Structure formats: C-alpha cells, structure tokens
C-alpha cells in the first residue's frame, strides 16, 4: 500500500480540529479497487533450544536479499520476522506470499531455525533487540503509562499477528463498519495464543489481552457506530485528537516520550508553535486501534497463524469486508448473536474481551462465526479465489468453527511446546492452483 495520506494544510501547519478532520477524511477517502495487502509476523525459534532468543542478525543472514513473491522483510522489536506483500488481487497476493513464506521457512530451516505462527511467544520472556529511537521512546512511554506492567514489553517483543490491508472501495463507510463489527468474531475464530512461559495463561488470545491492557486512547476500537450509519472520518478525527501523544520531536529531530498525558487536542491548544502536518501523520502511526485507516483499512486484530491457516485468516476477513452480500449476512449474524451492543471496551460484557478469553468456546461468538464463514465461503468464488483456497477455508471451518474450538485449543492440547514449533514448516501455502507497529 502507499504511505499514509497527509492532509493539505496551510504551510504544512495543523492549526485546529478542522485540519485534523481534513487529515481524517483523506485517510478514508473513497478509492476504487479491491486489492489486499498481507503482513505476516512470525516468531523465530532455534530448533536446538526453543527457549533461546534468536538474534536478528542470524535471521537476516539466513534470508535471501529478495524473496520470490516480492515481500518486504522487516523485524519487530523482539526479533519477530515480518513479511509484507505488495497489494494485489486476492489470488495473486496469497500466491506470492505463499511462495515467500515457503522460501523464508526453507532458508531458516537450513540454519536450524523454524518459523512459528502463534500470537504470542509461548515459552520465552520478552527481550527487545531493536534499539531504534522510535522503539526507545515507545518502551519508555508504555513503562510510564503502566508502571510495573509487562504489557508494553510483551506487545513489542513477544506478539505476532496476521494483518490484512484492504482497499477502501467506493463506499468506505460500509467496509469500515464491517471491519469493526466483525472484529470480535474473527478474533475468536483465529485466537491462537493461549500459552505464556510454558503454561496456559487463561486466555485463548493472550495477544489480544496484551493489547487491551495498553493505553486505551490508542489501542481501543475507534468509537462510533459500526452498522454503516456513522461517520468514519468524524470518528477517526476525534480519536486522533483525544489520543495521548506518545513522543515529541525536538528541533534536531530527536524523539522523547511524552509522559504527562498530553493529547493531540491539548497540543493544539498549547502556547507556542503549532504542530505540523508531519507531526500529525507521525502521531497517527503511533495509534494502534484494531482497525486503522491509512488510505486503506488495516485489519490488525488477528493472531498469527500456522503455515496451513494464515491464508484462511486473510481470505475470510477480506471476503466479508469487500463482498456486499457476504458482508450483509455477516453483519446480520453479529446483530442476531447480540454482539453489536458492546459494553465498555475491556469490561466483562465486551465482545472483544470475551473473544480473547474464550475464543469460539463462547456460544454467541461460535454461532456468529459459523454464519460468517458460510458467508465467506459463498463469496470467495465470486471474488476469484481458487478452489484450493476455498477448500482450505472450508476445512478450517469444519475443524475449528463447527467444533467451537479456536486454534488455541489445539495448542493447549500439545503442551508447553506447541506443534508449530516442533514440526517442519509446510511448503508453499498459496500456489495459484490452490490453496497483505
């Protein structure tokens, strides 16, 4: 996808809330196309000692300069490997990413390393490897927000996800509403992080729980209606204004954490030079709601998946967000299951919390997931998905959704060292004949 859209303001200065609203509208402007971009994060383990942290330099040395499908290689602060595909039609995006995952897994295997598609490190404590200024400031900020809490360190160093980036299309408000409303259902369906330090932690998605424990002005869902009748740009502008500033940049460009709770709205009202358009754009990159608009939609709430299942975690959200018929059926299922009327975020009745705690063991989430997967299976052939990918989605639905067992349930059954860490990586998962912080 392209870089985050920046607003057009007088001389690059953000003077008031109206300029923030202009930026928000640019982030959610209608754009043709139904492309998908895929971002996969993987934990990397040393096969000889699964409890040993693997240096980033060792991982980088094992990988080719260019992967066959064109994915960009990067790393998260704890050494998580991230592969980011260029945007493309669904079949092409999955085929290219499948080739890149296979190539990376094979290259690492030759060095005694293995990729693990799980949402949080099940055996190792967090250890930050990257010391870039952004991450230094981020670590200091989260430490100040929650003294004594490990949530910031865990998020940065121990979590991994599947991120699905979807074009906004001609009606962004509809795709925005679906991506939000379906979040708890899809988070439950793909919950895949039940272990910490070798033991069950009491959550099917410990990764989602970690995110919920961070600064909620930047990690909670964007408030507003999720039924297609709201005003996404207005809601995003309010979120930008009310989120706390994470970092400040001095005259020499150095970053430092903002520890006093100042919001961007406060910054606009403060004496002194106003923030710039670049300041606002950078502020937006430090916000991590489950769905984030950047000229496209980032769907950020899915745990990392194993080699057989990450294509499913891309295909199902894509189909439900992009296909109007499937999206309408999915939204009706969410409403029928009583999931649309959420309580306060993180509270006892909040579907996001229930999804993280119970996964598909919750009856309402399982019923809604069953309807959503049936809708996606009907839509995927209309969207050009190959038969192999459709079959893979159907197999996932039978194995997990119909049984009310999120992938996390399987990890719990294998003990403290889950199967994805100990079996050899599968081959390419997204061939054109079967089946982007």
For the segment 209-236, the average pLDDT, to the nearest whole number, is 87
Distance CA 37, CA 308 (A): 18
Distance CA 149, CA 161 (A): 21
3-state secondary structure 295-321: CCEEEEEEECCCCCCHHHHHHHHHHHH
Domain ranges of the chain: 17-416
The pairing of beta strand 161-166 with beta strand 297-303: antiparallel
DSSP per-residue letters across 3-50: PPP----GGGB--SHHHHHHHHHHHT--B----EEEEEEEEEEETTBT
Q: Which residue has the tokens 């019923």?
A: 367
Residues 6 or more apart from 260 whose CB is under 8 A from it? none
**Domain 17-416, what architecture?**
2-Layer Sandwich (3.30)
* 252: three-class secondary structure by DSSP: coil
Task: Note the pLDDT tens digit of each residue in 147-199.
Answer: 878 999 999 999 999 999 999 999 999 999 999 999 999 999 999 999 999 99
Distance CA 198, CA 201 (A): 9
Extended beta strands in 160-272, E state: 161-166, 195-196, 199-200, 247-249, 255-257
**Mean pLDDT computed over every residue of the chain:** 91
Kindly report which listed range (6-15, 35-44, 407-416, 428-437) carries the lowest average pLDDT score: 428-437
Distance CA 136, CA 128 (A): 10
Kindly report which listed range (41-55, 254-268, 384-398, 407-421) carries the lowest average pLDDT score: 407-421
Res. 434: pLDDT tops 60: no
Q: Taking a C-beta distance cutoff of 8 angstroms, is the pair 318, 385 a contact?
A: no
For the segment 388-415, the average pLDDT, to the nearest whole number, is 95
The pairing of beta strand 81-84 with beta strand 72-75: antiparallel
């Amino acid at each position: 996808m392209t870089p985050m859209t920046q607003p057009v303001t007088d001389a690059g200065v953000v003077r008031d809330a109206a300029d923030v609203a202009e930026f928000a509208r640019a982030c959610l402007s209608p754009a043709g196309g139904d492309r998908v971009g895929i971002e996969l994060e993987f934990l990397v383990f040393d096969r000889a000692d699964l409890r040993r942290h693997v240096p980033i330099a060792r991982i980088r040395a094992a990988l080719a300069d260019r992967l066959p499908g064109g994915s960009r290689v990067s790393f998260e602060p704890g050494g998580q490997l991230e592969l980011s595909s260029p945007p493309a039609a669904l079949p092409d995006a999955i085929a290219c990413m499948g080739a890149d995952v296979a190539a990376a897994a094979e290259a690492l295997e030759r060095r005694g390393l293995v990729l693990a598609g799980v949402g949080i490190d099940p055996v190792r404590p967090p250890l930050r490897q990257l010391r870039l200024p952004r991450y230094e400031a981020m670590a200091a900020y989260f430490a100040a927000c929650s003294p004594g809490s490990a949530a910031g360190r865990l998020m940065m160093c121990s979590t991994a996800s599947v991120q699905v980036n979807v074009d906004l299309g001609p009606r962004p408000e509809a795709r925005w509403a679906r991506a939000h409303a379906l979040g708890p259902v899809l988070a439950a369906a793909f919950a895949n992080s039940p272990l910490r330090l070798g033991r069950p932690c009491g959550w099917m998605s410990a990764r989602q729980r970690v995110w919920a424990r961070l600064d909620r002005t930047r990690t909670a869902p964007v408030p507003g209606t999720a039924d297609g009748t709201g005003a996404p740009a207005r809601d995003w502008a309010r979120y930008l204004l009310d989120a706390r500033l994470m970092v400040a940049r001095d005259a020499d460009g150095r970053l430092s954490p903002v520890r006093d709770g100042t919001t961007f709205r406060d910054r606009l009202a403060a004496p002194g030079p106003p923030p710039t358009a670049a300041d606002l754009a950078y502020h937006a990159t430090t916000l991590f709601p489950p769905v984030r608009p950047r000229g496209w939609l980032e769907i950020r709430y899915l745990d990392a998946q194993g080699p057989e299942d990450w294509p499913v975690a891309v295909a199902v959200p894509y189909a439900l967000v992009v296909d109007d018929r499937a999206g309408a059926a999915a939204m009706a299922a969410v409403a029928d299951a009583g999931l649309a009327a959420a309580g306060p975020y993180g509270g006892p009745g909040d579907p996001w919390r229930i999804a993280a705690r119970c996964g598909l063991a919750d009856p309402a989430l399982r019923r809604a997931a069953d309807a959503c997967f049936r809708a996606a299976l009907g839509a995927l052939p209309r969207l050009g998905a190959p038969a192999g990918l459709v079959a893979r989605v159907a197999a996932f639905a039978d194995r997990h959704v119909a049984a009310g067992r999120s992938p996390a349930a399987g990890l719990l059954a294998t003990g403290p060292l889950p199967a994805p860490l100990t079996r050899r990586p599968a081959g390419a998962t997204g061939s054109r004949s079967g089946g982007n912080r």
